[in-house]
Amino acid sequence: MNNKCVFCGNIHFSKKKVQYLYRNNGDFIIINDVPAVVCDYCGEQYFEGRDIENIENLYQEFKIDKNKIIRKLEIPVEEYSALAY
């Protein structure tokens, strides 16, 4: 990341811990409290490469051993076209 938000050009950021949604081929993992630098204006989140690597490794571990998953959410999934109002 440079010192400028690539989306809005803002130069002011805050360090925060955020919820990260990891996606891979239709699989999702939600990881809470991931350190991020967040644009104060548009909210774009920037992550360290090693943190993303850790999350990728976690995903690979879960693929090998589903018993390592300690908490799961059940999430409703719907097609927008089914919402005929």
Chain positions contacting Zn ion, by CB under 5 A: 5, 7-8, 10, 39, 41-42, 44
Using DSSP's 3-state secondary structure scheme, residue 36 falls into: strand
If the CB atoms of residues 41 and 47 are measured against Zn ion, the closer one turns out to be: 41
If the CB atoms of residues 14 and 81 are measured against Zn ion, the closer one turns out to be: 14
If the CB atoms of residues 42 and 52 are measured against Zn ion, the closer one turns out to be: 42
Burial of 5 (0-12, 13-18, 19+ CB in 10 A): buried
Least CB distance from residue 48 to Zn ion, whole Å?
Answer: 18
Alpha carbons 45 and 33: distance in angstroms, whole number: 13
